[in-house]
Structure 1
Amino acid sequence: MKRILSTLAILLCIPLSNLPAQNRFIPQDTTINVSTEVEGDTLLAGRQIFSLLSESFSGGGTVIVRQSGTLRNALLSHINSNSERVIIGYRIRIYFDNSQNARVRSEAIANQFVREYPHIKAYLSHVNPYFKVTVGDFRTKYEAQQFASQISSRYPSVFIVREQIGYPIVSTSGTSL
């Protein structure tokens, strides 16, 4: 009896999560961006600090920046390599269906949303058999909840999903666009 209990205790201590039967397949969305460029007042989005220093402002002096081509190229390389950053954040799902006309309907809903909210990105995705439309790139769940409450009258089946998002641009007011 002791031998059976000790064997059972040893077996219970072995982690079962490493067994192949425990690994689950997690489907990945295929995403298509259907929105326009983000408009908004941001600190340095799309601008270079060296060009800002060279601009003259009323009541101010003039700054002359002499930089080598190597420095300019290094800065552009750094900007390009970091432009596709992704983080874990929140999006709002406004459509989720698997009916026969789900693809056409999801495209129509995404286009309608982009017309109503041109500053918010909309994403079409398909994981067989579902077509989905998610919107926004929100850093926090609170931001997503605020926007979801704004659009819930127009899109009554909204819910918040946690997924990888594009790095949202922060406006000067401190909120994500």
Structure 2
Amino acid sequence: MKKALVFLADGFEEMEAVTPLDFMRRAGLDAKFVSLAGTLSVTGSHGVTYRADMLFDEKVASEADMLILPGGLPGAQNLQDNEALGKLLLKFHEEGKFVCAICAAPMVLGHLGILQGKKATIYPGMEDRLIGATPVADKVCRDGNVITGKGPGAAMTFAITLVEALAGKEVADKLRTSTVYD
């Protein structure tokens, strides 16, 4: 079974974390919240506290097929400041595994050089943080093993794109129908 990890740092955008996790689980994928906060309880940018499935463990995380970074501030900055996560993202990118980020979080991929020569999207007004990328205005952009999303309003499109990348078009189409996604 394909495995995806959604990383939570204090100040994450709730919609951008919960929607991908929910859609992946509906699709039968092994998806988990991973806390970078040092405790299983992590509070989002709108004051909602979630319980992660696990604390960050580089060995366990390296066995996943996809890493997902929700945006939100200061959540995205907290993700960027985590050196162990940065090393893991670089390893995944070098191995051709999926690295995915939405809203402000694509700045983490830009900071690490992962977006070099790729197309990517980010929250409006933050395009200068897509270091090395060609910014696009699309809600979601997939360029090879890198998938980026624009913001909270793109969370469902982002989630469907992640499911399609890991489980295929047929599974994503069934999910579109069952969730009444247009």
TM range, smaller chain: under 0.3
| Higher relative contact order (CA closer than 8 Å, sequence separation 6+) | 1
Q: Radius of gyration: which is bigger?
A: 1
Using structure 2 for the length normalisation, give the TM-score.
0.22
